[in-house]
Amino acid sequence: MGEPRSTRVVIRGRVQGVFFRVGCAERARAAGVTGWVRNRPDGSVEALLQGEATAVEAVLAWCRTGPPGARVDAIDVVPTPASQAASFTIEP
């Protein structure tokens, strides 16, 4: 098992209404990453990604582009303490 990593990510651009949360959750679950993804009132999307460093990096790489129809203008990645998330959820 690789190095564990926990990261909070805020993605800005045209990222709401384009299935960004669904796509992020699919990538995270497929990679074995736990945490959550949610829309923020300012139009950005925020996610908590936890798991093996290589798996978290793979999800982050997807977040830099997003699904078809998305336009990612900026992404902020901040290391954060791990939570006890057992799965990956989509929050409102």
Q: Is 5 a catalytic residue?
A: no
Q: Which of 21, 27, 29, 64 is catalytic?
A: 21
| Helix/strand/coil (H/E/C) assignment for every residue in the chain | CCCEEEEEEEEEEECCCCCHHHHHHHHHHHHCCEEEEEECCCCCEEEEEEEEHHHHHHHHHHHCCCCCCCEEEEEEEEECCCCCCCCEEECC
Give the active site residue among 14, 38, 39, 64.
39
Query: Does 21 participate in catalysis according to the annotation?
Result: yes
Q: Which residues are catalytic?
A: 21, 39
